[in-house]
Amino acid sequence: MKKALGLEGIVATETELSHVDGQRGELIYHGYSADWLATNHSFEKVVYLLWNGHLPTQEEANQFRAAWVSNRSLSPFLHRLLEELPREMEMMDVLRTVVSAQAGGDKFWPPRWEQGLSLLAKIPAIIAYRYHFLKGNPYPKERSDLSHAAYFLYLLQGIEPNPAHVRALDAYFVLTVEHGLNASTFAARVVSSTRSDIFSCVTAAIGAMKGPLHGGAPSEVAGMLDEIHEPSQAGQWIRNRILAGEKLMGFGHRIYKTQDPRAQALRQVAKELAGKEERFQLALEVERVALDVLQELKPGRNLYTNVEYYASAVLGAVKLPRELYTPTFTASRIAGWCAHIFEQAKMDRIIRPQSEYIGPQLKNKNQSL
């Protein structure tokens, strides 16, 4: 009997939140395809869908947005904490610490959507405040008229966000908000299953997201695009990489055995904005060449572009610092974690898998006590 090490292929729970079909290349959020949602709805409405099971009416959307905006501000305590943490701490460590620090005095169980919204709404401010503090830059004045994506860009850059950049980042947020029982989501559900508080659940998820096997791939794709630099150099660079036996970042996926629907949606965004952003032009050309070379050198392998490839293109095009790629992923996925935390709390059953013992057999069986 084949062992499912790492729980691969094991069904650990039931969920109404999302369905990942790797064979058909589909990603569904509560009955809607993720790529359709990215084209037709904002990140805020998709979060409402995940948390409530249906897309909001206009009145519901307005009320949800008002609650979202009212939770954006950081307390003086959080400002002091962000300034006093060691300067060498990476941003994911900062997020983990600051999220955990918000738990004091709040109701323990069950988790409430107001708590999730408070965490989600504050993530852009936490990242931006810490970033500007380390750089010695002034922190931009708070605003209430911007979407989650636009506010994130405004806080980091201190200027009116470029509409094309907002469009691209919002699509990225929608397409990365939820993806089944991945490592960070599973971590959040395990902690939630113990009846622990939402802050502990999200802290655990951030710890999992920090790992380079989970949240770090777009940064590696960015390095590849930087090295290629010009479309004319793509063919030889990619060929040399593959012939040397090295992995081509941004191609192939553990789950999807056909087109990654998230990559397809972000590719469409890249095509729409390619005339305005050189990074998108480069990404589109490198992808075309890479797929041709992969087909030639690795026939039959079904290696397609994955979401990390175009995530890197989007985050680079909107001028985000590379050290903020994984924190930006977190600014989206935290909404999906919260959806799973709420769902797990309703199930109210502890997650407790078993392990198979492969250590030494009992050595003192016949010895007297």
State which residues form the domain around 248. Answer: 217-317
Evaluate whether residue 6 is within a structural domain.
no
Residue 56 has a pLDDT of: 96
Buried b (16+ CB within 10 A) or exposed e, 56-90: beeeebeebbeebbebbebeeebeebbeebeeeee
Residue 267 and residue 134 in one domain: no
Residue 312 and residue 337 in one domain: no
Q: At what angle do helices 91-101 and 325-347 cross, to 10 degrees?
A: 40
Evaluate whether residue 270 is within a structural domain.
yes
Evaluate whether residue 88 is within a structural domain.
yes
Residue 3 has a pLDDT of: 62
Residue 202 and residue 228 in one domain: no
Residue 143 and residue 229 in one domain: no
Residue 256 has a pLDDT of: 45
Residue 61 and residue 141 in one domain: yes
Residue 183 and residue 224 in one domain: no
Evaluate whether residue 266 is within a structural domain.
yes
Residue 138 and residue 36 in one domain: yes
Residue 76 and residue 105 in one domain: yes
Evaluate whether residue 237 is within a structural domain.
yes
Q: Which residues in the chain show pLDDT less than 50?
A: 1, 256
Evaluate whether residue 94 is within a structural domain.
yes
CATH number of the domain enclosing 78: 1.10.580.10
Residue 51 and residue 194 in one domain: yes
CB 115 within 8 A of CB 201: no
Residue 308: active-site member: yes
Residue 72 and residue 179 in one domain: yes
Residue 253: active-site member: yes
How many structural domains are present in the chain?
A: 2
Residue 66 and residue 192 in one domain: yes
The DSSP code sequence of 9-48 is T------SSEEEETTTTEEEETTEEHHHHHHHS-HHHHHH
Evaluate whether residue 2 is within a structural domain.
no
CA dihedral 325, 323, 142, 206 (to 10 degrees): 60
* Candidates 277, 308, 340, 343; catalytic one: 308
CATH number of the domain enclosing 257: 1.10.230.10
Residue 81 has a pLDDT of: 96
Residues 241 and 220: their CA atoms lie apart, in Å, by 14
* Prediction pTM value: 0.86
Residue 241 and residue 108 in one domain: no
Residue 280 has a pLDDT of: 79
Residues 62 and 56: their CA atoms lie apart, in Å, by 9
Evaluate whether residue 178 is within a structural domain.
yes
* Candidates 148, 253, 277, 343; catalytic one: 253
Residue 45 has a pLDDT of: 97
| Number of other CB atoms surrounding residue 215 within 10 Å | 25
